Amino acid sequence: MADRLNGYRILILETREEAQFSRLLAEQGADVLQCPMFTIHDAPDPAPIEAWIRRAIERPLDDLVLMTGEGLRRLMKVVRRIGVEAEFVGGLGKARKFARGPKPGRALREIGLEPQMTTEKPTSEGVAEMLSKLDLKGHRLGLQLYPDKDHATLIGAVKAQGAEVDTVLPYVYDAQAADANIVTAIEEMARGRIDAIALTSSGQVRRLLEVAQAHKCEAQLREGLEQTPIASVGPVVSDELKTYGLRTDIYPANDAFFMKPLISAMATSLAKAPPRMAK
């Protein structure tokens, strides 16, 4: 597959792990336009994070639900700073660990652990559905949250199963810092200078529209998307696109909803036309 995207300019909306996506695209010869969607910062008050970590050590969790890989990495940063890595990782090793999609699983492997279960649908609803099949009565369940999401429904569903839920939010988003990047990306699409936009999370779709609306350039965004092929990593992203009246042009084959199959699908689709900048 080497160089199959040579000369094509691909727009990606960077979030937590899009650095890997960018590298994979570049390896195939793509000219990658990276658009940071927000800046991630540690939680401004470390005290609740430290307290959660110490509770997890002193009162070991029966279950741990990781919503993001970034969340575990941020927790481990605090764990190492306060000098309790061996105790914390040892405690997690005894708990059942559940991952919302593949990214938290990768973060667990970085500290020598494995998830017992991974959701088929990388959404809060998918997590609730997975946990609904388990007996959680009397369990102490640690739940790592992420910003920009109302988790009340998930927390309520887990509590309804009889679990004691202990939540932690280890990082925050600074969205305003990236608005200018997104507006520039919208302008590039509208000018016909992007061969495809690749979307890997539903949050990217929402953020794109929210910024366009806030900066009064939604018409320009829709004009750009009308002429730019939209690549979606899977059904969650495609459903979000539909919510805003947008389509999916490129989709991974054989229900393989990962970065590499998406890149392969883009290479196959884009090969039907020369790169725009080469015209």
- The predicted-structure confidence for 99-128, as pLDDT tens digits, reads as follows 998 889 999 999 999 999 998 777 888 899
Residue-wise pLDDT for 83-100, tens only, equals: 999 999 999 999 999 999
Within the chain, how many helices (H) and strands (E) appear?
A: 12, 11
Supply the pLDDT for residue 1: 47
Structure tokens at 201: 């999370």
- pLDDT band, residue 195 (cuts 50/70/90): very high
Please determine whether the domains at 9-38+175-278 and 42-172 fall in the same fold group of CATH.
yes
Give pTM, 2 decimals: 0.68
Domain 9-38+175-278: top CATH class: alpha beta
Structure tokens at 93: 């090793």
Across 29-52, average pLDDT: 90
Assess whether pLDDT exceeds 90 at residue 246: yes
Domain residue spans of the chain: 9-38+175-278, 42-172
Q: Which residues are 12's β-sheet partners?
A: 34, 198
Report whether 22 contacts 34 (CB < 8 A). Answer: yes
Assess whether pLDDT exceeds 60 at residue 193: yes
Structure tokens at 251: 């989709």
| Mean of all residue pLDDT scores within the chain | 91
Quote the CA–CA distance of 58 and 214 in Å, as a whole number: 46
Supply the pLDDT for residue 45: 96
Q: What CATH number belongs to 42-172?
A: 3.40.50.10090
Supply the pLDDT for residue 205: 94
Supply the pLDDT for residue 278: 58
